[in-house]
Amino acid sequence: MATAQEKTTPCCPPQTNKNKTATIPSPQPPSLATFIPAVDSSPDPPPKTASTKGITVMMRAQTCHPLDPLSAAEISVAVATVRAAGATPEVRDSMRFIEVDLVEPEKKVVALADAYFFPPFQPSLIPRTKGGPVIPTKLPPRKARLVVYNKRSNETSVWIVELTEVHAATRGGHHRGKVISSTVVPDVQPPMDAVEYAECEAVVKDFPPFREAMKKRGIEDMDLVMVDPWCAGYHSEADAPCRRLAKPLIFCRTESDCPMENGYARPVEGIHVLVDMQNMVVLEFEDRKLIPLPPADPLRNYTSGETRGGVDRSDVKPLQIIQPEGPSFRVNGHFIEWQKWNFRIGFTPREGLVIYSVAYIDGSRGRRPVAHRLSFVEMVVPYGDPNDPHYRKNAFDAGEDGLGKNAHSLKKGCDCLGYIKYFDAHFTNFYGGVETIENCVCLHEEDHGILWKHQDWRTGLAEVRRSRRLTVSFICTVANYEYGFFWHFYQDGKIEAEVKLTGILSLGALPPGETRKYGTTIAPGLYAPVHQHLFVARMDMAVDCKPGEAFNQVVEVNVKVEEPGDNNVHNNAFYAEEKLLKSELEAMRDCDPLSARHWIVRNTRTVNRTGHLTGYKLVPGSNCLPLAGSEAKFLRRAAFLKHNLWVTPYARDELHPGGEFPNQNPRVGEGLATWVKQNRPLEEADVVLWYVFGVTHIPRLEDWPVMPVERIGFMLMPHGFFNCSPAIDVPPNPSDLDDKENGVPTKPVQNGLIAKL
């Protein structure tokens, strides 16, 4: 991921046909200037600052931090290295590149980089030793991890490539890195790729029995047909990963000359298709039941008024977000500073946005870590209709597709408003070329209402502060749904994780005169099945812990009602009861809003001014658990959904709650549910929180033709972390001094009323 030029984005600029990705068609020998220069053995002086269009950009002492996402050149080198290592031309030609990602270094390497190699230079991150620390001349070389699918042999392999500066900078065409390891992973299928989806659609539409089945339904123009390949999941041995399978869903548009028509408004049901994605052939086809196509719904389209035969509102006045002096954040590559917060931004093909090294600058106490790594690691969308094909709709959108690989370019539209810093993201495509999603991540400030306020009723004098938050976000599309993933940082020390759901409902067709109890009828012959969206946030916490320290524990808090008696003679008493979660099996917990249940991550060796341990608490928002029965097939692969909270001690290879390869995974409970069986101790550890949250969607008529945004999430809040409110020093908003009511300047008077001047 690379930084992109910052700019002020207007709301909804005119659409263009420019592609969202810039493609490097095949790996090419990179130039000398592309690669990372050697790291000096001594730190540079404090960096100077420069301003670019209002955003302060700190001059960088080095060019590539160990946590920076892989550059386009590094991806090309990694791919070329693996391809060159193929034993035969046939092997090399059959390689398909699913993911190329950074091998994240050990935490002690990150600490070393932040202490001596990269501004703002924090030597306190390194433990003190007699004679002072031994500073290496340079950091360890960066490494890439590649997931490669062999289309000829149907094998999946994982490669580790060292991207040394020597290999990168050598002239004469020696542009490859060094293969550290190569491992064939048996009995798995890697995530699907967009290229495969396009090929699958073409194969199905060209299959004669399919064309005949569509002809029975009155469709002869295959350009109207939409084939959405869905991963097969695992329902029986027939779905075993010895074959790479897809079971497509079929839809049909009404107008061939309208590229923005909502094709999801006409689902085609009764047709069963099974596709071999390795060889791109139809394995099974059956026209099981002739269900008439739903009639064209006049309300199906979602484009602007004139294009859908309607009228847009005409009374919406312009709303401009203006920061005449620029934003308050500073950017140095992928390092962000804002309102005492600092952190790093990363991006992976699977998770999308990753937040690293989150810390708060707390006056004389200096830099105080909060978390090492924050990300959304998986999401599952199970449907509640037992009828075919909806019972098998249970997408693992991160593990089967990749949230990052499906991200959008945010340079167009209303995705972000105000003064924005964008970051690009680089990925490999299926054939090993490099694709760049421009302006993939958005960084900007938002006004968030009142931060705090109090008015003295005796004097009428009031103090009020506006809340401002820093938002980092990206948006992806997986088939019919859009998901926006947001991390919000607040001036009072809170961190909010938020997911915004929108897009188009996945529908089913109804025979004339029928209804379904498992969905909502939204138009004649058309219904939307009930379903859930379940997300997993992985939070590698580090509350007041330097890298390498393991001084955290997790406490559960429940509010209890005091029993009637001498301690509760008025029957009004209640209190907060704490329980230390001592081991992994004890830490499998569920939300309980009736007891205001929440969890606190505490540092076992740091206290606040009252003598209590410092901490950050996880506060749930609205939530749910899977509503499927315990024997539901998708829960074999998604056992991690059975509880809202899991806690594990940190392990480098424990990243994916359903295992690395959930696609067609036959193994029961792989991943998180298996790891916790070790029942490792948690009383003082480097803890990782896995928080499962979601929403049960019972569709409404108002969710059609496009679903208004629904928001879910949770909050990380300081709990005894600070000695008082960190928001007390937030200054008044300068615009507060020139308030206007109906265009007339106003001022407060002593009795608290407003008098017009």
Please state, in angstroms and rounded to a whole number, the distance separating the CA atoms of residues 537 and 688: 10
What is the b/e burial string over 265-282, where b = at least 16 CB atoms within 10 angstroms of the residue's CB? bbbbbbbebbbbbbeeeb
- Tokens 């810039």 correspond to 22
486, HSE (Cβ side, Cα atoms, 13 Å): 23
Map tokens 């680089």 to a residue. Answer: 426
Report how far apart, in Å, the C-alpha atoms of 196 and of each of 104, 193, 595 are.
29, 5, 48
What tokens appear for 107 in the block? Answer: 């935490």
Burial class (CB in 10 A: 0-12, 13-18, 19+), 77: buried
* Nearest by Cα to 411 from 475, 347, 487: 475
In this structure, are residues 491 and 727 in contact, taking their beta carbons and an 8 Å threshold? yes
What secondary structure does DSSP assign to 96-150, as a single string? Answer: EEEEEEE-PPPHHHHHHIIIIISTT--GGGSPP-TT-----SSPPPEEEEEEEEE
The answer to whether the CB of 219 falls within 8 A of the CB of 225 is: yes
Report residue 308 CA to chain centroid gap. 33
The C-alpha atoms of residue 545 and residue 688 are separated, in whole angstroms, by: 13
Residue 210's SS3 state is helix
Report how far residue 545's alpha carbon sits from residue 367's, in angstroms, rounded to the nearest whole number: 11
Query: Could you tell me how far CA 70 lies from the centroid of its own chain?
Result: 18
DSSP codes of every residue in 166-184:
HHHH-STT----EEEEEEE
Specify the amino acid at residue 585: L
Q: What is the 3-state secondary structure (H, E, C) of 604-673?
A: EEEECCCCCEEEEEEEECCCCCCCCCCCCCHHHHCHHHHCCEEEEECCCCCCCCCCCCCCCCCCCCCCHH
Active site residues: 397, 481
Q: What is the CA radius of gyration of the chain?
A: 28
Q: Contact 49/57 with Cβ under 8 angstroms?
A: yes
Report phi then psi at 590, rounded to 5.
-120, 155
Four-CA torsion 415, 418, 424, 430, nearest 10 degrees: 10
Q: Give me 741's structure tokens.
A: 């009511």
Token pair listed for 321: 């977000």
Axis-axis angle for helices 194-205, 208-216 (nearest 10): 70
**Peptide bond before 324: cis, by omega within 30 degrees of 0?**
no
- In angstroms, the CA 475 to CA 498 distance is 12
- The strand pairing partners of 537, in sequence order, are 376, 691
**Residue of 601, 580, 592 whose CA lies nearest to 717:** 601
Output phi, psi for 94, to 5 deg: -90, 0
Query: Cα(164)–Cα(64) distance, rounded to whole angstroms?
Result: 13
Give the C-alpha separation, 404 to 368, whole Å.
Answer: 30
